[in-house]
Amino acid sequence: MDKKQVLDSFGKLLDIMDRLRVECPWDREQTLESLRTLTIEETYELNEAILKGDMEGLSKELGDILLHIVFYAKIGQEKGAFDMGVVIDNLCDKLIFRHPHVFGNVKADSAGKVIQNWEHLKTKEKNGNKSVLSGVPEGLPALIKSFRIQDKARAMGFDWQQREQVWDKVAEEANEFRAEWEKGDQDRMEAEFGDLLFALVNAARLYGINPENALERTNRTFISRFNYLEEKTIKQGRSLADMSLQQMDQIWEEAKHKPGK
C-alpha cells in the first residue's frame, strides 16, 4: 500500500469504531478499565508472535493492538479529553523533540548517543518525568524492570567502565547469597538472591543480551525437552512418577541431541 491507501484504511478503521461504539452492545459497554487487562493480553500475544517469527500472526496481532489504541482514543473523545488526532499529534511532537539529530542540529553518530540524548531530553519535557528512573513503569515484570532501570542509568553515564568488571560483582553477590543460606536466614536469602539476579541482568545488558529473551529461550527449550521426556515415557508404558532421576536424565540427554530440542 502507498501512504494514501494506508491513510484511507486508517480512516475506515476510525469509521468502524464509531459505528461499533454506537451499534454493538459489547463495544458500547467497554471502559478504559475494562479494556486494560485485554490490552495486556494482546501485548503478550504480540510478543509470542515475535518470538515465533510468525509474520502473518504478527500482522494480525498488530491489528489487535491498533484496535485497542483506536478504542482508547474513541473513549477519550467521548469524555472530551482527547481524540485520535491529539494522540497522533502528541506522538509526532515527541518524536521530533527527541530526535534533534534528525530534525535539528544535534550530532549523534551512534545508537548509544541517541539513547543518551533521549534520556536527557525526557527530563526537560514539560510535565515529563521528574527523574530518570521514574519513567520506568511500576507494573513491569521484575526482570524487564531491572533491565530498563539499568539501561536508563547507563544512558546517564552510570555504568561499569569495563564490562568484564561485572563478573566480580556477580561473584560477590553469589558469595553473599551463599553466606545467608548457610545462616538459614530466609529473608536475607531473598534479598541477596535479588541482588544476584540484578547483577546477572546487568551482565546480560553489558554483553548485548536481552535477559527476558534469553530466559524465554531457555523456557522454550526446557518445555520442548520435558515434553519429549514425557512423551517417550508414555510410549514405553511408564509414568514419570515411577521413574528414577537417573532414568529421566538418560532420556533428557537423548532429547538434547534431537533436532529442535
Find out whether 151 and 132 touch, Cβ atoms under 8 Å.
no
The average pLDDT across 74-79 equals 97
Q: What is the pLDDT of residue 117?
A: 73
- Is the pTM higher than 0.75? The answer reads no
Any idea how long the chain is?
261
Q: What is the pLDDT of residue 58?
A: 96
145 phi/psi in degrees, rounded to 5: -60, -45
Q: How confident is residue 62, by pLDDT bands cut at 50, 70 and 90?
A: very high
Angle, helix 186-206 to helix 211-235, in steps of 10 degrees = 110
Percent of the chain with pLDDT over 70: 95
Lookup result for grid cell 521426556:
229
Distance (Å, whole) CA 49 – CA 246? 36
Distance (Å, whole) CA 20 – CA 30? 11
Q: What is the pLDDT of residue 130?
A: 65
Lowest mean pLDDT: which of 11-25, 117-131, 139-153, 185-199?
117-131
Tens digit of pLDDT for each residue in 140-167?
A: 889 999 999 998 888 788 898 899 999 9
Q: What is the pLDDT of residue 128?
A: 53
Long-range contacts of 84-89 (CB under 8 A, 24+ apart): 84/14
Distance (Å, whole) CA 203 – CA 173? 13
Torsion sign across C-alpha atoms 159, 165, 171, 175: negative
Nearest to 66 by CA among 82, 32, 43: 43
- CATH for the stretch 132-209: 1.10.287.1080
When the pLDDT of each residue in the chain is averaged and rounded to a whole number, the result is 90
Tens digit of pLDDT for each residue in 77-103?
A: 999 999 999 999 999 998 998 888 888
Distance (Å, whole) CA 98 – CA 22? 38
For residue 70, pLDDT beyond 70: yes
Q: How confident is residue 252, by pLDDT bands cut at 50, 70 and 90?
A: very high
Q: What is the pLDDT of residue 260?
A: 73
156 phi/psi in degrees, rounded to 5: -95, 10
Q: What is the pLDDT of residue 206?
A: 94
Q: Which residues contact 74 (CB under 8 A, 6 or more apart)?
A: 17, 18, 21, 83, 84
Label residues 144-183 b or e (16+ Cβ within 10 Å = b). eebbbbbebebbeeebeeeeeebeebbeebbebbeebeee
Q: Within 156-209, where are the H helices?
A: 166-183, 186-206
- Considering the four listed CATH numbers 3.40.50.970, 1.10.287.1080, 3.10.20.30, 3.20.20.30, the one that applies to the domain covering 3-97 is 1.10.287.1080
The average pLDDT across 189-195 equals 96
